[in-house]
Amino acid sequence: MSNADFSKRPLGICFTSTGQAEVLVWAPKASQVELMLNDGNTSIPLRKGEHGYWHEVTDQVKAYDTYTYRIDEEQEYPDPASKSQPLGVHGPSQATDLEQFQWDDESWQNLPLQDYVLYELHVGTFTPQGTFAGLEQKLDYLIELGVTAIEIMPVAQFPGKRNWGYDGVFPFAVQDSYGGPKGLQRLVNVCHQKGLAVVLDVVYNHLGPEGNYLGVYGHYFTDKYNTPWGPAINFDDAWSDDVRRYFIENLLMWFRDYHIDAVRLDAVHAIKDFSPVHILREMKQHVNYLMEKTGRTHHMIVELDLNDTRFINPLEEQGYGMDAQWVDEFHHALRVTMTGENTGYYADFTGICDLAKAYRDAYVYDGQYSPHRFKSFGVKAEHNPGHQFIVFSQNHDQVGNRMLGERLGQLVSFEMQKLAAAAVIFSPFLPMLWMGEEYSEPNPFQYFVSHTDPQLAQAVREGRKAEFAAFHAQGEAPDPMAEKTFLQSKLQWELLEEELHQTMFRYYQTLLRLRQELPALKKLNREHVAVEENEAHQTLILRRGHQNEQVVCLMNFSAEPQTLLLPIGAKEWNLVLDSASPDWNGPQATELKAAGGSKVTLQPESALVYQVAFK
């Protein structure tokens, strides 16, 4: 780890205890930098320091003043480390004192990662208001559901008012249309008062195109590598020390100034870094140092498409120290089992045999040949505990990157949705729900943007059409720029008043309650997992245990009733869940008790869960 102390964030404008403003900007490309205050009425020349940093301490800047930097007596630009952009990505920055917020969460202790039940949501479409304040009003609902951690899609300032968040261009600024910095601080504060952890999605592999002024200031990008979004962020080329500092400080800001409990780092496989110390490893070292100073705990979760345990292995084992990762392969194996899809990356998955392997091994591909990738892929994850793997039946990517943005509920039956929920929630991993799935929301979640640059907007439209040109038989890809695309992606909360949707909500509640109450489901010990699949009958038996308790989950993914044998060794198994019961709008209930070795009949697309405690 470098010697710099990032526990206090010096980049941008920070206020001292005496009310003075400390100004610091990295602009090695500039020969002169001025701070232009309140529409340029005041100009404050900055002094040049080492490595391209410009700085000044002044009492002329007050909280909520707007400002820009004028480079070489020419054009003015917003602050690369701006904490607030109230007039959007092209407008001036606003001086913001994050330390002014009055926190009431002193008694809050972040949950151990193994206690996380995650709920991914998009602020703009989660509520009619599309704001942090709107989300705050739904927290009691999420607690009632059984969620312990909300995972918020990116909130870094993006162009316009409608965006998934991955087009952010001001990593330090909180989206103004969501409620800005104070709105996010208040939301986290209330979450902690109610016992909810907060996970924030952050993007360190690219920045969006519109309003991206970082290249004006310094060497933030390198043409050494290509990414799907253009030049890579410069983590290992010339001038990279200060680029690394910028993103490390950003990460620490979320933890320190917003009390965020965990971050989900987007697509870390797209971070290009061949430094002796990978940027993720260095980030983890600084987070560990911050935790030592504050006494608070923070987790780092990654989206990773490499099946490489180096990312999630501890620092002392020469890993990068990430605490957990998303496992798309579990989703893919489950989706193919349910639907038989075989296009794109689904071509790598055979269905129920791969789902069984995911339960056993976390990674489906752990060294064998991948037809989709045309190479051998992955390593074994034998020694990584269950809480390091986050699984799901849907998420923003797997829904929103379909041409029409269909949720799982539009692709499979009501019964299969219930089976999918059981498959995820009773896995030996951390479950994550996608907003609305718990009541079978039928509205799609589609790709939407609101670029103000007409040429860029047209390019996005044409790119989306070209991406799905082969699927024209399904209709036209929705226009990403149209407000309608955004509005029809919003949740319909009124549906919870309808019996079918209320039934699904109660079903999800029951699954999450069982996961919490039964030690064999709550304890994520992968050594006490046994799986038996039958490809011909499309059935799977998942067995989990803890101390003297055993839980067995019988799953039938076929369209026909199937007969399975309950494991021997127990005199009597107690039925704790029957997804086909009329209680859950299912076709037929099963007997409450059954002896070990006896036959039980599973209804089509259903799950039975039995429990026994040995004396």
Token match 């209804």: residue? Answer: 603
In angstroms, the CA 103 to CA 357 distance is 45
Read off the amino acid at residue 14: C
Ligand-binding site membership of 264 (annotated): yes
Nearest to residue 300, comparing CAs of 321, 317, 316?
321
* 308 labeled part of a ligand binding site: no
SS3 603: coil
Specify burial of residue 105 (Cβ count, 10 A radius: 0-12, 13-18, 19+).
middle
Mark whether 266 is an active-site residue: yes
Identified catalytic residue from 236, 261, 273, 303: 303
401 is in an annotated binding site: yes
The span from the CA of 363 to the CA of 355, in Å, is: 10
Q: Is 374 marked as a binding-site residue? A: no
- Scanning 362-439, the segments in alpha helix (DSSP H) are 396-400, 414-425
Distance of alpha carbon 360 from alpha carbon 330, whole angstroms: 11
Q: Give the list of residues 6+ apart from residue 236 with CB closer than 8 angstroms, or none.
A: 222, 224, 272, 273, 274, 275
Catalytic residue status for 76: no
Alpha-carbon span 508 to 548, nearest angstrom:
26
Residue 306 counted as an annotated binding residue: no
CA dist 201 and 390 (Å) reads 14
What is residue 48's DSSP assignment? E
Q: Is 364 annotated as a binding residue?
A: no
**331 marked as part of a ligand binding site:** yes
Question: Residue 443 annotated as binding?
Answer: no
Contacts of 48 (CB under 8 A, 6+ apart): 33, 54
Residue 389 marked in a binding site: no
Asked if residue 332 belongs to a known ligand binding site, the reply is yes
Rounded-to-10 torsion of CA 176, 182, 188, 189: -160
Torsion of CA 173, 251, 391, 441, to 10 degrees: -10
**Pairwise CA distance, residues 321 & 343, whole Å:** 34
- 328: annotated binding-site residue? yes
Beta partners for residue 533, in sequence order:
540
Rounded to whole angstroms, the Cα distance separating 201 from 532 reads 36
Whether 464 has a binding-site annotation, put simply, is no
Which of 266, 366, 406, 415 is labelled catalytic? 266
483 is in an annotated binding site: no
User: Angle, to 10 degrees, between the axis of helix 328-339 and the axis of helix 352-361?
Assistant: 150
Q: Residue 315, by phi and psi: left (phi above 0), alpha (psi -120 to 50) or beta?
A: alpha
Strands 539-546 vs 529-534: parallel, antiparallel or unpaired: antiparallel
271, exposed or middle or buried, with CB in 10 Å at 0-12, 13-18, 19+? buried
Q: Show binding-site residues.
A: 264-269, 328-332, 396-401
Q: Show binding-site residues for substrate.
A: 264-269, 328-332, 396-401
Residues marked as catalytic: 266, 303
